[in-house]
C-alpha cells in the first residue's frame, strides 16, 4: 500500500499544537502503514524541530518527516490572519510545494482519535477534488461573504466546509491552477472574505468539494455539549488554541490531559493563557446583563426597521438566556466528565518528556 501522506502547517507559536496533532495522529494510525509527514515550516525553531523529530523516531522507519519552507510574503496582499500572521493561508500552496498525488491536510489545533489511513483510502466522487466536513458555525457561502457570493454568482445557501481536515487531490488542484487562483483571490477580494484560506477553498472550489462524515472534523464545542466523553473522532478546537487560551470545559481538560501524557504539558503561566482566563471570567460576569439588554436593543432596531440587526440581537439574547438557565446543569455534567477524563489512558502513556 502507498504511504499515508499527511501535511500540516506551523510556526513557532503553533508548535505545541503541531506536536499534539502529530502525536495523536501517529498513535491512532494503522501500525502497518508507512507515513510521509510533511510540515509547512513558517518559522519553527531548531529546538522545536528536534523535539518533533524525536517524537517521530519513536515510530521507527515507518514514519518519514520533512520540513518544507514556506514564503509568507506570497500573501502580503491578503488580510492578516490569526496572530498577525499569514500562516493560515499556506495550505493553498500545497499543490505547488508537494509533488504527491493526494494527501490529508490537518490543522494544528486538533487531536486525532481515529485511524487516518481510513480517510486516506476514501475515493473521491466524480467531479470532486477534495473532501471536507461542513462547517459547524458558518453554514453557507453567504455566511462568509454576501458580497463574494453575489459577485461570483454562487448560491447564497451553498454548503460551506471547514478546511481544518481535508483529503486533497493535488493532481487535480494543480490542473486547475488552484494556488495561482487563490493568490489572486486573496489580493482582489481583500477585506471581503472572513476566513482566510478557507474562504478561497469554498468560493473557488464550490461544487467540487465532497462531504465527509462529521467524525472526521468535530468541533470541540460539540464535544463540550455532549453528556459523555465519547471520542472516536478528530476533535477540532475551532474557537481557541487550547495551549494558549483554553475555553473551560471537557474539551480543554481532554487536551491538557492528552498533551501531559504525550510529554508536552500546557504551560498555564504564559501571558496568553492568563489573559484568556480573565476574559472567561468577565464573559460569565456579563452574561446576565447581555441577556437583559439584548432584547431591548433588538426592540429598538425593530422600531428603526433594521430587520437584520433586530434578528441578530434576538438570537444573541436567546443564546445568553439559555447559557444562564443551563449553567447549573452544565457545571454538573462538566465536572463529572472532567473527573472521567483525568482517568483516561492513552496509547503513549509511557512517553518521556518532550522538553
Q: Kindly tell me if the per-residue pLDDT of 200 is higher than 50.
A: yes
Q: Kindly tell me if the per-residue pLDDT of 351 is higher than 60.
A: no
- Each residue of 127-162: pLDDT tens digit? 999 999 999 999 999 999 999 999 999 999 999 999
- Each residue of 74-115: pLDDT tens digit? 888 887 666 667 888 889 999 999 999 999 999 999 999 999
In a domain, 352, yes or no: no
Say if residues 142 and 156 touch (Cβ distance below 8 Å): yes
Q: Of the candidates 121, 123, 117, 119, which has an alpha carbon nearest to the alpha carbon of residue 30?
A: 117
In this prediction, residues 27-53 reach a mean pLDDT of 94
In a domain, 226, yes or no: yes
Residues 85 and 204 in one domain: yes
Residues 41 and 173 in one domain: yes
Number of structural domains (the chain) is: 2
In a domain, 104, yes or no: yes
Residue with cell 486573496: 186
Residues 193 and 309 in one domain: no
Domain endpoint, select from 196, 216, 236: 216
Residues 193 and 266 in one domain: no
Handedness of CA 199, 204, 207, 208 (dihedral sign): negative
The three cell numbers of residue 277 are 482566563
Domain endpoint, select from 216, 232, 248: 216
Q: Kindly tell me if the per-residue pLDDT of 353 is higher than 50.
A: no
The percent of residues in the chain predicted with pLDDT above 90, rounded, is 75
Kindly tell me the burial class for residue 93, based on how many C-beta atoms sit within 10 Å of its own C-beta (0-12, 13-18, 19 or more).
buried
Q: What's the pLDDT score for residue 298?
A: 95
Place 73 in a pLDDT band, splitting at 50, 70 and 90.
confident
Residues 65 and 193 in one domain: yes
Cα(94)–Cα(100) distance, rounded to whole angstroms? Answer: 9
Q: Kindly tell me if the per-residue pLDDT of 354 is higher than 70.
A: no
In a domain, 114, yes or no: yes
Q: Greatest CA separation found in the chain?
A: 68
User: Higher pLDDT residue, 352 or 117?
Assistant: 117
Q: What's the pLDDT score for residue 84?
A: 64
Report the chain's mean pLDDT, rounded to a whole number. 91
Q: What is the CATH number of the domain that holds 10?
A: 3.90.550.10
What is the CA 70 to chain-centroid distance, rounded?
20
- Each residue of 45-71: pLDDT tens digit? 999 999 999 999 988 878 999 999 998
Place 21 in a pLDDT band, splitting at 50, 70 and 90.
very high
The whole-model pTM stands at 0.89
Kindly tell me the burial class for residue 36, based on how many C-beta atoms sit within 10 Å of its own C-beta (0-12, 13-18, 19 or more).
middle
The three cell numbers of residue 211 are 462531504
Give, in order, the Cα–Cα distances in Å from 343 to each of 27, 237, 267, 334, 346. 19, 22, 21, 15, 10
In this prediction, residues 180-205 reach a mean pLDDT of 92
Give, in order, the Cα–Cα distances in Å from 46 to each of 15, 53, 243, 307. 11, 10, 20, 54
Residues 8 and 112 in one domain: yes
SS3 for 36?
A: strand
The three cell numbers of residue 306 are 433594521
Q: What's the pLDDT score for residue 348?
A: 67
Report the interhelical angle of 327-342 vs 250-262 (nearest 10°): 20
Q: Kindly tell me if the per-residue pLDDT of 350 is higher than 50.
A: no
Cα(133)–Cα(278) distance, rounded to whole angstroms? Answer: 33
Q: Of the candidates 102, 226, 257, which has an alpha carbon nearest to the alpha carbon of residue 172?
A: 102
Which value, in Å, is the radius of gyration of the alpha carbons in the chain?
21
Q: Kindly tell me if the per-residue pLDDT of 207 is higher than 90.
A: yes
- Each residue of 258-310: pLDDT tens digit? 999 988 888 888 888 888 888 888 988 999 999 999 999 999 999 999 988 99
- Structural domain harbouring 103: 4-216
Cα(127)–Cα(208) distance, rounded to whole angstroms? Answer: 6
Amino acid at each position: 500500500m502507498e504511504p499515508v501522506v499527511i501535511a500540516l502547517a506551523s510556526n513557532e507559536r503553533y508548535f505545541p499544537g503541531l506536536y499534539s496533532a502529530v502525536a495523536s495522529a501517529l498513535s491512532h494510525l494503522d501500525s502497518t502503514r508507512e507515513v510521509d509527514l510533511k510540515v509547512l515550516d513558517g518559522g519553527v525553531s531548531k529546538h522545536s524541530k528536534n523535539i518533533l523529530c524525536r517524537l517521530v523516531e519513536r515510530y521507527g522507519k515507518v514514519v518519514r518527516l520533512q520540513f518544507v519552507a514556506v514564503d509568507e510574503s506570497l500573501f502580503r496582499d491578503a488580510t492578516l490572519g490569526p496572530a498577525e500572521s499569514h500562516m493560515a493561508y499556506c495550505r493553498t500552496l500545497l499543490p505547488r510545494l508537494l509533488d504527491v498525488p493526494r494527501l490529508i491536510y490537518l490543522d494544528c489545533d486538533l487531536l486525532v482519535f481515529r485511524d487516518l489511513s481510513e480517510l486516506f483510502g476514501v475515493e473521491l466522487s466524480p467531479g470532486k477534488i477534495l473532501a471536507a466536513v461542513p462547517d459547524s458555525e458558518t453554514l453557507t457561502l453567504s455566511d462568509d461573504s454576501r458580497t463574494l457570493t453575489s459577485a461570483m454568482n454562487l448560491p447564497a445557501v451553498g454548503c460551506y466546509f471547514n478546511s481544518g481536515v481535508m483529503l486533497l487531490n493535488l493532481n487535480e488542484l494543480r490542473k486547475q491552477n488552484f494556488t495561482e487562483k487563490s493568490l489572486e483571490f486573496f489580493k482582489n477580494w481583500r477585506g471581503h472574505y472572513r476566513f482566510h484560506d478557507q474562504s478561497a477553498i469554498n468560493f473557488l472550489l464550490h461544487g467540487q468539494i465532497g462531504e465527509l462524515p462529521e467524525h472526521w472534523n468535530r468541533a470541540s464545542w460539540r464535544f463540550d455539549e455532549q453528556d459523555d466523553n465519547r471520542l472516536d473522532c478528530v476533535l477540532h478546537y475551532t474557537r481557541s488554541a487550547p495551549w494558549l487560551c483554553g475555553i473551560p470545559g471537557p474539551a480543554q481538560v481532554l487536551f491538557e490531559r492528552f498533551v501531559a501524557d504525550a510529554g508536552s504539558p500546557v504551560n498555564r503561566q504564559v501571558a496568553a493563557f492568563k489573559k484568556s482566563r480573565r476574559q472567561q471570567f468577565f464573559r460569565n460576569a456579563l452574561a446576565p446583563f447581555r441577556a437583559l439588554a439584548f432584547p431591548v436593543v433588538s426592540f429598538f432596531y425593530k422600531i428603526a426597521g433594521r430587520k437584520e440587526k433586530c434578528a441578530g440581537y434576538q438570537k444573541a439574547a436567546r443564546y445568553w438566556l439559555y447559557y444562564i438557565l443551563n449553567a447549573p446543569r452544565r457545571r454538573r455534567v462538566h465536572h463529572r466528565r472532567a473527573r472521567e477524563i483525568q482517568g483516561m489512558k492513552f496509547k503513549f502513556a509511557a512517553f518521556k518528556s518532550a522538553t
